[in-house]
Amino acid sequence: MNMFTRKKDKAPPLVAVNHAGSLSVPGEFATVPCNVLRMSATAAELRLDRPRQLPSAFRLTIRGEARSRSCQLVSAERRSVQVRFA
């Protein structure tokens, strides 16, 4: 069972949100566009516009939110990325 599967008394389930966002990668000037497909208070599932390799830590900014979130990469397969909020 992984962090994206609900187990009694564990992390809350991810809720479908479909928000536009962007990733800020340390040491890079440009941001990486993405869509936040599902999210909870502790984790999110993202879809990248284009497949790319990501570092283990980066920041997620969701359009319309005042703050960005520190993220730890949990898994990535092509354009699908799963993160835990640090």
Residues 9, 58: Cα–Cα separation, whole Å: 28
> Which amino acid would we find at residue 72?
Q
Give per-residue burial for 25-53: e unless 16+ CB within 10 Å, then b.
beeeeeebebbbbbbbeebbbbbbeeeee
In a domain? residue 52: yes
Q: What is the pLDDT of residues 37-80, one digit of tens each?
A: 999 999 999 999 888 889 999 999 999 999 999 999 999 999 99
Is residue 10 in some structural domain? no
* 79 assigned to some structural domain: no
- pLDDT at 1 exceeding the cut of 80: no
Structural domain includes residue 9: no
The answer to whether the predicted template modeling score (pTM) of the entire model surpasses 0.95 is no
Q: Residue 23 sits in which domain range?
A: 15-71
How many alpha carbons fall within 13 Å on the CB side of residue 20? Answer: 4
Q: Per the structure, how many domains does the chain have?
A: 1
pLDDT tens for 51-63 read 888 999 999 999 9
